[in-house]
Structure 1
Amino acid sequence: MTTIRAPRLEELTPANLEAALALRVRPEQEFAVHPVADSLAEAYVRPRAAWPRLIVDGDRVVGFVMAFLDIDWRDDGTDIRSGLWRLNIAADEQGKGYGRFAVEAVAEELRRRGTKTLHVTWHPGEHGPENFYLTLGFEKTDEKVDEEHVGVLPL
């Protein structure tokens, strides 16, 4: 009998840090996502806003996801948002549903916190993640942040 394992999120620890730092997306995708080390630095300096997690399947680290929580989007207190900050799926693990799992896990965490919408930004381009996010139900807005498109998913 085969045991089917579901992916899960895990907090980062000294025991899994090296695996997290070793994650690499496909070379043609590097323009669209920061390395995990950059994300962990962001999480370190913004601990109240960052929710970093590893995506694990069995004993394999297959990806990294980080949500942002209650960010003051316009720096004036009028637009507080939460959403998906970073998503890195290992090059050889893409196309297996881990990205979808990660987005759904972030959505569930935000729902648990009472959030009504999940925001994401992405770099446009042939190898960018736009189709992935649109397929998951994100709606592309007219808004841009530093040349990145903004999408929103009602929760």
Structure 2
Amino acid sequence: MRLVQITPENYEAALALSVRPDQQDLVSPVVKSLAEAYVFPEHAWPRLIHDGDRLVGFVMAFRDIPWDPAVDPDDRRSGLWRLNIAADAQGRGYGRFAVEAVCAQLRADGATRAYVTWEPRAGGPAGFYLRLGFRLTGECSGGQTVGVLDLA
């Protein structure tokens, strides 16, 4: 497994990537993520997840984003912004690999914690993130649960 930069040669395959129908309300499509990466290039770190030559997913990290400047202007966070694993590739460890690869990159960039948000509903990804070691912060962001993982 490896992470691959998005290029003119592979972006169409990235756009065609889709999660299961019952998960479409949990994660934005790749096209929205790429638009966000274009608008916020200083914060976004988008990558494709490959197993050999096969595209199996998309992951995007965020780096050094002010959390709530009104509360604490020095609270800047990094973490997992988006994770889309292809419907036919789920349950094979690709999500775990992607989260661990993002955390390794964030650690290399000097981050000491990784944040993630998820939709708090039955069938959502809460269990996945909690099994990876994320813990609840008690915060919500846009109606989503916020989790944090210590990277030290």
Normalising to structure 2: TM-score of the pair? 0.96
Q: Distance in 2 between matches of 1:87 and 1:26?
A: 13
Shift of 1:78: 2.3
Q: Distance in 2 between matches of 1:29 and 1:154?
A: 27
The answer for unaligned runs of 5 or more in structure 1 is 1-6
Q: Distance in 2 between matches of 1:66 and 1:75?
A: 23
Q: Say yes or no: does 1:85 pair with 2:77.
A: no
- Which is worse superposed, 68-77 or 55-64? 68-77
- Given candidates 22, 35, 50, the residue that maps to 1:28 is 22
Q: Distance in 2 between matches of 1:47 and 1:114?
A: 18
Q: Say yes or no: does 1:102 pair with 2:98.
A: yes
Residue identity opposite 1:51 in structure 2: W
**Identical aligned residues as a percent:** 62
Structure 1 runs (4+) greater than 4 angstroms displaced = none
Shift of 1:146: 1.1
Shift of 1:127: 1.8
- Given candidates 19, 36, 40, the residue that maps to 1:42 is 36
Residue correspondence of structure 1 range 68-79 to structure 2 within 5 A? 68-76=62-70, 77-79=73-75
SS of the counterpart of 1:105?
helix
SS of the counterpart of 2:15?
helix
How many residue pairs match? The answer is 149
SS of the counterpart of 2:25?
helix
Q: Distance in 2 between matches of 1:86 and 1:29?
A: 13
- Given candidates 136, 143, 149, the residue that maps to 1:147 is 143
Q: Distance in 2 between matches of 1:113 and 1:59?
A: 28
- Given candidates 112, 116, 136, the residue that maps to 1:116 is 112
Q: Distance in 1 between matches of 2:46 and 2:11?
A: 12
2:49 corresponding residue in structure 1: 55
Q: Distance in 1 between matches of 2:127 and 2:88?
A: 19
Q: Distance in 1 between matches of 2:86 and 2:122?
A: 19
Q: Distance in 2 between matches of 1:128 and 1:44?
A: 27
Shift of 1:141: 1.7
Q: Distance in 2 between matches of 1:102 and 1:26?
A: 18
CA displacement 1:45-79 (0-9 Å, x = unmatched): 00000000000111111000000000011135221
The answer for unaligned runs of 5 or more in structure 2 is none
RMSD after superposition: 0.7
Q: Distance in 1 between matches of 2:8 and 2:19?
A: 22
